[in-house]
Amino acid sequence: MSTTALPQRHTPLGTTSSNRLGSSYLSSRPITSSSKADVRIADMAAGPLSGKNANAPTVLFCISKKESFTPNNGLKMLQRRLRNGYKIGLFKDEMSAAKLQDANLLIFGAPREKFSMAEFGALKAFIERGGSILYLSGEGGESAYNTNFNYLLEEYGMMVNPDAVTRTVYYKYFHPKEVYVTSGVLNREINRAAGKLVGGVVDHSIQEAGRYNSHALTFLYPFGATLNVQKPAIPLLSSGTVSYPLNRPIGAVYVHPSGKGKLVVVGSAHMFSDMYIEKEENGKLFDVLVQFCTSDKITLNSIDANEPDVSDYHYIPDTAKLSETLRSCLQESEELPKDFTTMFDVDLFKFDTTLIPQAVQLYEDLHLKHEPLTLIQPQ
């Protein structure tokens, strides 16, 4: 199996292979290449990350691509939230369809390595058979993390932009990239699943003033990027009305036509990290996303899915770059008259005798003799 990273977007997906390279889930003992290739989730019952319910859905955290956030690095609190209701494991080898067959949800915490064509094929097959993926990115997109996951996302109508979301006004949090969003849930079923009241008229001025809003989830979106979303993908979260970029998607989902396989993308991995998972209602939002990925209890509202409240992406000039290339301003000239002779002004400079009478009158006014000037003898 070739592990060469995908060089460009136009290369077709390759076929998957499940031989030679095994996938291992973290257990109480280290697993080497000489160990059994397939480690069942049932064998993880005594492992440090295993869940208590044997019939619970299986959630795997991928750690094979130098993820910025793992259960041992930044996602410890998130792991504890999942432990009671899910079986948890770590996926640390190259992906293949055979090694993902026991998983229900695969979580990527901002990977920092490129994926091979075979791995993309395995992930695509994983979604088609009913598995779900939760992909968490960060500000700067794939260029900042040196990955190529947009290759897979573009097939499903999504892309992480190389930008950052900032707060235009200060409220609650000091850093401008720690964005407090009060009206960012685009599909009412997400609010309903979180226990919010749905159907009433919401006063956005009250929301943005920071008061409690029982109709929508409020969340903190730190150090995240925006997404480009088009059908068949559906926007789930937006940056809100007081952030920049304005009302742009920051969370989206693709649902397989069968209704089981799902691909959820969130532009901020920090959002669910240990530092921010308990800020605002981030934890409740994560619980809803995991429930949406692992069950059929949440069905998105079709009206909100077809007509999401998002704005177009507007570009602004790079003022820092423009300040280094100063240019003089050019004055716009007036239109030329039809009679070009009117453009000549003959009164500015001329020779004539019109002022001689006035000069002669000055002799009389100043009581001077009208005679040629003579030399004055020095004393």
For the chain, the structural domain boundaries read 41-165+224-320
180 or 330, greater pLDDT:
180
> Length of the chain, please?
379
Judging by beta carbons within 10 Å of its beta carbon (0-12, 13-18, 19+), is residue 312 exposed, middle or buried?
exposed
In CATH, 41-165+224-320 is 3.40.50: yes
Q: With cut-offs at 50, 70 and 90, classify the pLDDT of residue 212.
A: very low
* pLDDT at position 204 over 70: no
Average pLDDT across the chain, whole number: 79
Percent of the chain with pLDDT strictly greater than 70:
81
Facing residues of 254 across strands? 263
- CA distance linking residue 179 with residue 177, whole number of Å: 6
Mean per-residue pLDDT for 217-241? 92
313 or 109, greater pLDDT:
109
- The answer to whether residues 109 and 136 touch, using CB atoms and an 8 Å cutoff, is yes
Mean per-residue pLDDT for 344-361? 84
Q: What local confidence, expressed as pLDDT, does residue 51 receive? A: 52
- CA distance linking residue 147 with residue 68, whole number of Å: 12
73-96: pLDDT as tens digits = 889 998 888 888 888 888 888 888
User: How many degrees, rounded to 5, is the angle at CA 270 between CA 269 and CA 272?
Assistant: 80
105 or 203, greater pLDDT:
105
255-299: pLDDT as tens digits = 988 778 899 999 999 999 999 999 999 999 999 999 999 888 888
34 or 359, greater pLDDT:
359
* pLDDT at position 203 over 50: no
